[in-house]
Every structure is written in C-alpha cells, then in structure tokens.
Amino acid sequence: MKIYRFISSEDYAIVKVVSKGMHLLTFDRLFVKESHRKWSEKIRLGIVEEDSKPNKLVGDFPYYAGYQPIVVSQRAVDKIGDVLNDNGALYQVEIEGHNEPFYYYAVTNIVDCLNQEKSTLKSVNSPSVNYINVTKPAFFKKRIGSNSIFVLPEHPDGPIYVTEVFANILKESNLEGYDLIPEHRGA
C-alpha cells in the first residue's frame, strides 16, 4: 500500500480570508464536528497578490494556510465529493472574482496508524498549543485498512494523508492544483 501526503500545489494561486473582521480561519476537532449546525456566515477568500504570479490559476485545490482546512473547487466536489464527504466535512466559501463556489474541506477521519518508534517526531509545546509534529512518518499499514483519506490523532489538524486508492481517484478525475508526496516508510 502506498501512502502520500496531500498538499495544494505551489504552482496555483494562494488564497486568504478577506471577510471583514475575520482572521485566518482554522478548524479544531470540536468545531469540525459541530460546525454543520453553526456554519451560517459565508466566508470570502481573496487571491494573495504578493504571493501569486499574475494570472496564476486558482485550480481545484488553491493553497490556503498550510495543512487544514484545504480549499476545494465545485468541480472537485462534483467529481469526488462522495469520497470527500465520507472522510471529512465541506463548508461553502467564495473566492473574490470567481463565480464558481469553493469549499473548505476538513478531514475528520482520524486513523491511529502511526508507528512512533520508526517515525521522526517533534513535540510542540507552548501556552497555546500542544501537539506532535510528524516530520517523517512511518505507518502501521494494516491499521489504515480501507481508509483512503485520513489524519493522525497525534496532529489531527496536521498533514492530510491519502492512500493509492484516493491518489488514483484524483488522477482519473483530471483535477488540478495538488501534489502527492510519497510517504513510503511503514510496516
């Protein structure tokens, strides 16, 4: 089984929150699980001009703020929405200058499959956050089972991991704006 880290491609536009009074929006696990009841204000995103080349394409997965949430196009939701919804939550947003809807996507499928003995880990402890940063993961692949998109309990707002099954779905869908970084270590 091949495992990849899913990231938005740097070859596509970078977006940020531009709604009045909003700052960088992140999801914690409780918010993700409860937000379908609370998600009422439409969040507006804009292209970050200083970081994006002129006329840079937005793509299907524009870059936003690091690991999670990621931004997903309507085209991506139309093509792979079932598998996205099976493993996470979609919340509609808009990108200035684009008529097509976009979505925040937060992975809620947490799989306890990290082989900590074979992984390279770094503890991050501060007054505001405590988590384990997994810099070089090794996996117990049997624990992944049939999960195709997941995050780790050690850092649930961290990297999104996908299996070869989802990588093939992405390839067949002809979606643009993502990279898959191989994470091959595991038992």
DSSP 66: S
Domain ranges across the chain: 3-182
Residues 6 or more apart from 184 whose CB is under 8 A from it?
2, 3
Q: What is the pLDDT of residues 59-81, one digit of tens each?
A: 888 777 656 668 899 999 999 99
Q: Strand, helix or coil at 142?
A: helix
Q: What is the pLDDT of residues 15-62, one digit of tens each?
A: 766 655 444 444 443 344 444 444 555 666 666 665 545 556 778 887
Residue 168 has pLDDT above 50, yes or no: yes
Torsion angle of the four alpha carbons 28, 32, 37, 41, in this order, in degrees rounded to the nearest 10? 70
Residue 42 · residue 16 · CB < 8 Å: no
The C-alpha atoms of residue 19 and residue 175 are separated, in whole angstroms, by 27
- Prior bond of 69 cis (ω within 30°): yes
